[in-house]
Structure 1
Amino acid sequence: MHSRQEQHTAQADRFQSGDSAPSAVCALPAGLPLSTDVLLAGRNAVTIVHQGVHYVLRATRSGKLILTK
């Protein structure tokens, strides 16, 4: 059996940066930490949609995260 995080990583790896992912790739229990390795899936930025607004979460070379609208 694979863990939920491994399943999420495998699903996230299927999507390239220009593809649109389903609104719910996988269901994670509330409060479960989500690694940026899983969230970014090897990219330096991802687009997040929150209440219809698009945000970009970007990892800097120094390892910091920047969220912009």
Structure 2
Amino acid sequence: MSHESDAPDPHAMPNAPSSSLRLPAGPGMRTCPTGIVPADFLFQGSQEILISHKGEHYRLRITKNGKLILTK
């Protein structure tokens, strides 16, 4: 009996090819994204998210006018 669910993965990007979800090949290496990450996917209904990068924390928020602002 399978333990897998038929429910969609809440972390999967809709309509995105799996190749666009690649992680870097190794420490310090980057891969070029082949797709676009929709803001709706990142924010999931909220107006701001926190991003951790190299031990620093950043806040990405959507303004009342629909613009994105990134602050440290």
Alignment TM-score, normalising by the size of structure 1: 0.60
Partner of 1:28: 21
Q: Which has the higher helix share?
A: 1
Aligned residues: 49
TM-superposed deviation, 1:32: 1.7
Identity %: 39
Larger radius of gyration: 2
Q: CA RMSD in A?
A: 2.3
Map Cα deviations across residues 13-38 of structure 1 (whole Å, 9 max, x no partner). Answer: xxxxxxxxxxxxxx813232000000
What is the aligned counterpart of 1:5 among 13, 19, 27? 13
Paired residues for 1:1-69 under 5 Å? 4-6=12-14, 28-29=21-22, 30-69=33-72
Q: Which runs of 4+ in 1 moved over 3 A?
A: 1-4
Q: Larger relative contact order (C-alpha < 8 A, sep ≥ 6)?
A: 1
